[in-house]
């Protein structure tokens, strides 16, 4: 029955028009969505190039920089008497209306009345009459609110002109044109053929109750693989609904990663909400139909889909409809928060600690705690944000993305911008000498996992049908992505307190933002097209959760160890095991030295190789209990002072072996440290120990060469286009004094040899998984 209702709704929406007071309203031709290209627009005159015809798009945003080309509207030359803007629809079109808007600017510039004319050849124009005279349409009375003017009946033509008659301030306007292409028998035959192959989904906009009904019907249709639940309530008391899709819904299965898509942080960005509702239907149907790709994904992943994080905001935007809500109506929560950037700022806490050299030895490089008082300070954190945070903390999420709108690109963190310590100091120096803003070589802090994040972003952008087609520029400016469809948020439009930064710094989950398109709230008739554009990308991105390594950390008896730390040499960002001891570490292909540590256990390091094949490499750890007494004794021998760490003089250049205590057989260990009650440990003895260790290593290495295991190498940084991130890597320090104890300061020849780094030159293609 649900399938039937999907079908019916689809057929209605596929007509692309709705009846309203007997006037047929056609959908937007695509000024806002950029489907109308710049060269389809022509104007009588232009005030300055930054206010050219290409800036006449509904909801286009001005850049804050007065010197660039991105003005907040088309503006005519004030010296001209006759003004018009013309759109070439390229095919015969039934025009049914126009939406106008003023200029995005602090000044109030808008057109308050205009005529409309039509032509089939752009030379002979017919001005629209209302039966008595030329029809003067009333336009705007402020700069932001879009105003719709409908024609009494559709007008068939190829060209349409708007001729402003009165305006406030400078003559500036933004607009959208409503029209339906006149059916052409040939193309109709083609589009019918296309429809046959499309997924049978509900391609409509859903208000809160419709969304609830749809999600219920999906969970009724696929009870075995779905669970309909809520993260909590919005400010106005609406549920923040979620759909879990997995082979055993309702429980975390050891070894199965958890994935999330969230949408609707800003209520007016409605496309993400609808795409997630379509994705739920798609997964349910395809699973039942036995689609092997979907079966595999659902069986191996616990997927959570949250279509509407800010249901209150959506309600506002939905009431106005897809075209008339302006740029920001419903963006914020009911009590005025922007949920996406309402998270505690952990970046500055970590960066300050890094600058003081405290990371990761004294302050960990991951799971940065939320400072006290941040969450309790009244009203500064939205209830929706709090609900999200507790949800994020209660599931072992590995990967996620939030779907947003108003741009067409993927951003990867950090989202917050701060200069590197070196740049900060340089800036201060220049400033104190009176050179003003330190422009030269400003370097910002980059995320440790940058090359992985770039890969994740590319996996979406490159499988989206249009995201990398940027020759026409971005939505509001030139293309900020260099044709890649991806950009680092901190370099592009930095914000503090973002969901993405918080997720990376406070949880195990890597989170990115996907901006789905210029039109935040596309017309219903666009939804089927948007689904086609995004379906492959949505599926491909989800599959990335199975990239890298995964495993379980256990003790010798096989009991899982939760909250153990898993570190990858060369990447100063650890992750932790979940309640059942399982962990996932997303990594690009390469060879990695991975160390597991847990309180009360000896750390253990092993080599894990990530290949190009789909599926994460298993890399589990069985940890031995550590001997605390012995550690304390040896600490005492050293006068309880902190024991020197390896390679302090060599920060950032290459990576070193650090030997864990596990590599020293216990029996020998015991002999070497007799119950000496703090007795002297001679230098000679230390030397002897070191030599033994070197011998043992040499042996291990020889052995390793004889087996199929590749020789130990240091961490390999795979990059796409960025240089290897070696500068930002710090040698990792074992948290266990005993392991470091044996390192002393000297570098053995073996170590030098072992640290030779090996750089791979992998080519990425999207077929690699
Ligand atoms: C354009 O051509 C179509 C079909 O030839 C005609 O129906 C329509 O009236 C013409 N429009 C104008 C503005 O001349
Ligand atoms: C019209 O423009 C002027 C000058 O730009 C501005 O001061 C005024 O507020 C505007 N009028 C309205 C009704 O917005
Ligand atoms: C759910 O699983 C049960 C048992 O495996 C099976 O009999 C039933 O057909 C499944 N239901 C659906 C709707 O797939
Ligand atoms: C809570 O809000 C009130 C009023 O806005 C303010 O006076 C008070 O200092 C706030 N308390 C805290 C702990 O921030
Ligand atoms: C997890 O381990 C860290 C130290 O590695 C500790 O600070 C934290 O309290 C532990 N958390 C739990 C829930 O055990
Ligand atoms: C654990 O200890 C045993 C000896 O009791 C040793 O053989 C083994 O290599 C150790 N394993 C690890 C992972 O440290
Ligand atoms: C390595 O293999 C060679 C021949 O396969 C053998 O002669 C040699 O003894 C092996 N070395 C070790 C350390 O096992
Ligand atoms: C990468 O791709 C280029 C061009 O396709 C090719 O010439 C080169 O050999 C490739 N490199 C590797 C390591 O596969």
Q: Quick one: pLDDT band at residue 695, thresholds 50, 70, 90? A: confident
CB burial string 489-502: b at 16+ within 10 A, e below = bbebeeeebbbbbb
Q: What are the structure tokens assigned to 591, written together?
A: 């060879």
Q: Which ligand is nearest to the CA of 155?
A: 1
> What separation in angstroms does the CA of 243 have from each of 199, 216, 246?
20, 9, 10
Is the pLDDT assigned to residue 741 strictly greater than 50? no
- Listed in order, strand segments (DSSP E) in 614-735 are 617-618, 621-623
Give the mean model confidence (pLDDT) for residues 31-51: 96
Q: Which ligand is nearest to the CA of 378?
A: 4
With residue 279 as reference, give the H or E element that holds it: helix 270-288
Query: Ligand 2 centre and the CA of 169: distance in Å?
Result: 6
In the sheet that 565-568 helps form, which strands lie side by side, from edge to edge? Answer: 571-576, 565-568, 590-597, 604-610
Give the mean model confidence (pLDDT) for residues 6-32: 58
Query: Ligand 6 centre and the CA of 149: distance in Å?
Result: 78
Would you state the pLDDT for residue 16? 43
Q: What are the structure tokens assigned to 648, written together?
A: 């302090």
Q: Quick one: pLDDT band at residue 190, thresholds 50, 70, 90? A: low
- Kindly state if the Cβ of 378 falls inside 6 Å of ligand 8: no
Q: Which ligand is nearest to the CA of 602?
A: 6
Q: What are the structure tokens assigned to 187, written together?
A: 């193309």
Q: Which ligand is nearest to the CA of 222?
A: 3
How many C-beta neighbours within 10 Å does residue 68 have? 12
Query: Ligand 2 centre and the CA of 48: distance in Å?
Result: 21
Query: Ligand 7 centre and the CA of 660: distance in Å?
Result: 26
Give the mean model confidence (pLDDT) for residues 433-443: 66
State CA 40 to chain mean position distance.
33
At 164, give phi and psi (nearest 5°). Answer: -60, 140
Bridge partners of residue 745, in order along the sequence: none
Is the pLDDT assigned to residue 52 strictly greater than 90? yes
Whether 101 and 57 have beta carbons less than 8 Å apart is answered as: no
- CA-closest residue to ligand 2 atom 2: 169
- Encode pLDDT of 538-593 as tens digits: 999 999 999 999 999 999 999 999 999 999 999 999 999 999 999 999 999 999 99
- CA-closest residue to ligand 3 atom 3: 224
Q: Return the CATH number of the domain spanning residue range 549-626.
A: 2.60.40.1120
- Kindly state if the Cβ of 248 falls inside 6 Å of ligand 3: no
Of 762, 721, 397, 427, which is closest to residue 578 (Cα–Cα)? 397
- Encode pLDDT of 237-260 as tens digits: 999 999 999 999 999 999 999 999
- Kindly state if the Cβ of 477 falls inside 6 Å of ligand 6: no
Is the pLDDT assigned to residue 510 strictly greater than 90? yes
Residue 444 has what DSSP assignment?
B
Higher pLDDT, 665 or 643: 643
Higher pLDDT, 625 or 68: 625
Query: Ligand 3 centre and the CA of 262: distance in Å?
Result: 28
Map 317-354 to HEC letters. Answer: HHHHCCCCCCCCCCCCCCCCCCHHHCCCCCHHHHHHHH
- HSE-up of 335 (CA within 13 Å, CB side)? 13
Q: Which residues line ligand 5 (CB under 6 A)?
A: 563, 565
Is the pLDDT assigned to residue 719 strictly greater than 70? no
Q: Which ligand is nearest to the CA of 706?
A: 7
- CA-closest residue to ligand 4 atom 3: 378
Query: Ligand 1 centre and the CA of 156: distance in Å?
Result: 6
Would you state the pLDDT for residue 662? 40
Q: What are the structure tokens assigned to 637, written together?
A: 């021998």
CB burial string 32-49: b at 16+ within 10 A, e below = bbbbbeeebbebbebbee
Query: Ligand 2 centre and the CA of 187: distance in Å?
Result: 48
At 280, give phi and psi (nearest 5°). Answer: -60, -45
Of 242, 238, 241, 211, which is closest to residue 313 (Cα–Cα)? 238
Quote the percentage of the chain above a pLDDT of 70: 79
- HSE-up of 761 (CA within 13 Å, CB side)? 0
Peptide bond preceding 414 in cis form (omega within 30 of 0): yes
- Encode pLDDT of 360-392 as tens digits: 889 999 999 999 988 887 789 999 999 999 999
Q: What are the structure tokens assigned to 354, written together?
A: 């890094």
Is the pLDDT assigned to residue 667 strictly greater than 80? no
* Segments making up each domain of the chain, as ranges: 12-185, 208-420+449-546, 549-626, 645-766
Q: Quick one: pLDDT band at residue 749, thresholds 50, 70, 90? A: very low
- HSE-up of 712 (CA within 13 Å, CB side)? 25
Would you state the pLDDT for residue 681? 56
- Kindly state if the Cβ of 709 falls inside 6 Å of ligand 3: no
- CA-closest residue to ligand 1 atom 10: 157
Q: Which long-range contacts (CB under 8 A, 24 or more apart) does 245-251 make?
A: 245/280, 245/283, 245/284, 245/298, 245/303, 245/304, 245/305, 246/298, 246/301, 246/302, 246/303, 247/298, 247/299, 249/224, 249/225
Q: Which residue has the tokens 């999200």?
A: 388
Of 82, 58, 325, which is closest to residue 177 (Cα–Cα)? 58
Residue 267 has what DSSP assignment?
T
Say how far apart CA 669 and CA 29 lie, in whole Å. Answer: 77
Say how far apart CA 479 and CA 304 lie, in whole Å. Answer: 32
* Residue 681, burial from CB neighbour count under 10 angstroms (0-12, 13-18, 19+): middle
- Kindly state if the Cβ of 703 falls inside 6 Å of ligand 7: yes
Q: Which ligand is nearest to the CA of 763?
A: 8
In CATH terms, the fold of domain 12-185 is Jelly Rolls (2.60.120)
Say how far apart CA 107 and CA 75 lie, in whole Å. Answer: 13
Of 748, 754, 743, which is closest to residue 710 (Cα–Cα)? 754
CA dihedral sign, ordered 57, 58, 59, 65? positive
Whether 254 and 559 have beta carbons less than 8 Å apart is answered as: no
Residue 558, phi-psi category: left (phi > 0), alpha (psi -120 to 50), beta (remainder): left
Query: Ligand 6 centre and the CA of 602: distance in Å?
Result: 9
Q: Quick one: pLDDT band at residue 171, thresholds 50, 70, 90? A: very high
Q: What are the structure tokens assigned to 52, written together?
A: 């050219």
Higher pLDDT, 262 or 437: 262
- Encode pLDDT of 321-347 as tens digits: 999 999 999 999 999 999 999 999 999
Would you state the pLDDT for residue 24? 66
pTM for this model (two decimals): 0.79
- CA-closest residue to ligand 6 atom 12: 662
- Kindly state if the Cβ of 707 falls inside 6 Å of ligand 7: no
CA dihedral 758, 759, 764, 768 (to 10 degrees): 0
Higher pLDDT, 456 or 698: 456
Give the mean model confidence (pLDDT) for residues 652-681: 39
Would you state the pLDDT for residue 33? 96
Query: Ligand 8 centre and the CA of 414: distance in Å?
Result: 30
Say how far apart CA 70 and CA 76 lie, in whole Å. Answer: 15
CA dihedral 368, 609, 587, 366 (to 10 degrees): 0
Is the pLDDT assigned to residue 188 strictly greater than 70? no
Mean of the per-residue pLDDT values of the chain:
84
- Kindly state if the Cβ of 666 falls inside 6 Å of ligand 6: yes
Among 223, 224, 245, the mutation site with the greatest number of ligand 3 atoms within 8 A of its Cβ is: 224
- DSSP codes of every residue in 111-164: EEEEEEEEESSSSS-EEPB-SSSB--EE--SSSSS-EEEEEEEEEEEEEEEEEE
- Kindly state if the Cβ of 765 falls inside 6 Å of ligand 8: no
> What separation in angstroms does the CA of 287 have from each of 110, 217, 282, 300?
52, 16, 8, 13
Bridge partners of residue 24, in order along the sequence: 19
At 245, give phi and psi (nearest 5°). Answer: -130, 115
Q: Which residue has the tokens 């249709």?
A: 221
Is the pLDDT assigned to residue 751 strictly greater than 60? no
Would you state the pLDDT for residue 257? 97
Least confident of 292-296, 420-424, 444-448, 518-522: 420-424
- Encode pLDDT of 98-150 as tens digits: 999 999 999 999 999 999 999 999 999 999 998 899 999 999 999 999 999 99
- CA-closest residue to ligand 2 atom 1: 168
At 276, give phi and psi (nearest 5°). Answer: -70, -35
Of 384, 347, 368, 345, which is closest to residue 497 (Cα–Cα)? 345
State CA 322 to chain mean position distance.
24
Whether 540 and 460 have beta carbons less than 8 Å apart is answered as: yes
- DSSP codes of every residue in 406-426: SEEEEEES--S--B-HHHHHH
Q: What are the structure tokens assigned to 446, written together?
A: 């980059």
Architecture of the domain delimited by 208-420+449-546: 3-Layer(aba) Sandwich (3.40)
Q: What are the structure tokens assigned to 758, written together?
A: 């090996």
- Kindly state if the Cβ of 168 falls inside 6 Å of ligand 2: yes
At 560, give phi and psi (nearest 5°). Answer: -65, 145
Say how far apart CA 359 and CA 732 lie, in whole Å. Answer: 9
Q: Which atom of ligand 8 is nearest to the CA of 760?
A: 13
Q: Which ligand is nearest to the CA of 144?
A: 2
The size of the chain, in residues, is 769
Give the mean model confidence (pLDDT) for residues 397-404: 98
Give the mean model confidence (pLDDT) for residues 480-505: 97
3-state SS class at 545? helix
């Amino acid at each position: 029955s649900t399938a039937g209702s999907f079908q019916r709704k689809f057929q209605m929406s596929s007509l692309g028009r709705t009846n309203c007071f007997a006037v047929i309203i056609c959908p937007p031709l695509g000024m806002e969505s950029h489907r109308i290209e710049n060269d389809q627009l022509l104007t009588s005159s232009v005030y300055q190039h930054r206010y050219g015809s290409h800036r006449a798009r509904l909801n286009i945003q001005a850049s804050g920089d007065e010197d660039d080309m991105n003005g907040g509207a088309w503006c005519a030359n004030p010296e001209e008497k006759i003004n018009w803007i013309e759109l070439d629809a390229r095919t015969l079109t039934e025009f049914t209306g126009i939406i106008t808007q003023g200029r995005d600017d602090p000044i109030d510039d808008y057109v308050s009345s205009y005529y409309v004319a039509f032509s089939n050849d752009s030379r002979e124009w017919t001005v629209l009459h209302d039966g008595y005279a030329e029809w003067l349409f009333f336009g705007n009375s402020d700069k932001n609110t879009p105003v719709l003017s409908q024609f009494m009946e559709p007008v068939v033509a190829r060209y349409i002109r708007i001729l402003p008659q009165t305006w406030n301030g400078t003559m500036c306007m933004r607009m959208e044109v409503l029209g339906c292409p006149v059916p052409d028998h040939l193309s109709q035959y083609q589009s019918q053929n296309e429809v046959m192959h499309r997924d049978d989904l509900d391609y409509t906009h859903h208000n809160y109750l419709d969304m609830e009904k749809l999600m219920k019907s999906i969970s009724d249709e696929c009870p075995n693989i779905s669970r309909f639940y809520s993260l909590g309530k919005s400010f106005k008391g609406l549920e923040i609904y979620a759909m879990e899709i997995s082979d055993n819904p309702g429980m975390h299965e050891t070894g199965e990663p958890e994935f999330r898509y969230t949408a609707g942080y800003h209520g007016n960005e409605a496309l993400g909400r609808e795409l997630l509702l379509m994705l739920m239907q798609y997964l349910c149907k395809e699973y039942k139909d036995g689609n092997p790709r979907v079966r595999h994904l659902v069986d191996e992943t616990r997927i959570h889909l949250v279509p509407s994080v800010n249901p209150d905001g959506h309600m506002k935007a939905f009431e106005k409809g897809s075209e008339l809500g302006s740029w920001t109506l419903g963006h914020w929560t009911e009590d005025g928060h922007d949920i996406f950037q309402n998270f505690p700022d952990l970046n500055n806490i970590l960066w300050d600690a890094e600058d003081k050299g405290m990371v990761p030895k004294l302050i960990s490089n991951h799971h940065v705690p939320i400072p006290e008082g941040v969450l309790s300070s009244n009203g500064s954190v939205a209830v929706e944000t709090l609900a999200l945070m507790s949800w994020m903390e209660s599931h072992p999420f590995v990967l996620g993305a939030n779907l947003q709108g108003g741009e067409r690109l993927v951003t990867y963190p950090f989202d917050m911008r701060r200069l590197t310590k070196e740049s900060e100091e340089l800036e201060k120096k220049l400033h104190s000498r009176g050179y003003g803003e330190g422009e030269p070589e400003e370097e910002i802090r980059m995320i440790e996992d940058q090359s992985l994040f770039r890969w994740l972003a590319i996996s979406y952008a490159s499988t989206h049908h249009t995201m990398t087609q940027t020759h026409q520029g971005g939505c509001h400016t030139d293309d900020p992505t260099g044709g890649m469809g991806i950009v680092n948020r901190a370099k592009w439009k930095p914000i503090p307190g973002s969901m993405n930064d918080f997720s990376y710094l406070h949880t195990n989950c890597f989170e990115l933002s996907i901006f789905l398109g210029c039109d935040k709230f596309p017309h219903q008739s666009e939804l089927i097209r948007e689904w086609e554009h995004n379906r492959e990308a949505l599926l491909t991105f989800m599959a990335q959760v199975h990239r890298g390594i995964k495993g379980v950390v256990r003790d010798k008896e096989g009991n899982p160890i939760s909250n153990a730390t898993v570190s990858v040499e060369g990447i100063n960002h650890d992750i932790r095991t979940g309640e059942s001891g399982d962990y996932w570490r997303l990594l690009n292909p390469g060879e990695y030295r991975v160390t597991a540590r847990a309180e009360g256990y000896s750390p253990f390091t092993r080599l894990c190789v990530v290949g190009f094949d789909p599926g994460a490499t298993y890399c589990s750890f069985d940890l031995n209990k550590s001997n605390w007494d012995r550690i304390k004794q040896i600490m005492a021998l050293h006068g309880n002072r902190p024991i020197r760490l390896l390679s302090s003089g060599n920060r950032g250049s290459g990576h070193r072996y650090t030997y864990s205590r596990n590599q020293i057989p216990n029996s020998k260990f015991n002999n070497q440290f007799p119950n000496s009650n703090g007795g002297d440990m001679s230098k000679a003895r230390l030397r002897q120990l070191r030599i033994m260790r070197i011998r043992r290593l040499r042996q291990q290495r020889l052995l390793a060469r004889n087996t199929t295991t590749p020789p130990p190498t240091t961490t390999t940084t795979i990059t796409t286009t960025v240089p290897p991130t070696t500068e930002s890597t710090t040698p990792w320090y074992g948290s266990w004094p005993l392991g470091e104890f044996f390192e002393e300061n000297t570098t053995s020849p073996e170590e030098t040899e072992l640290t030779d780094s090996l750089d791979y030159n992998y080519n990425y293609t999207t077929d690699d998984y």
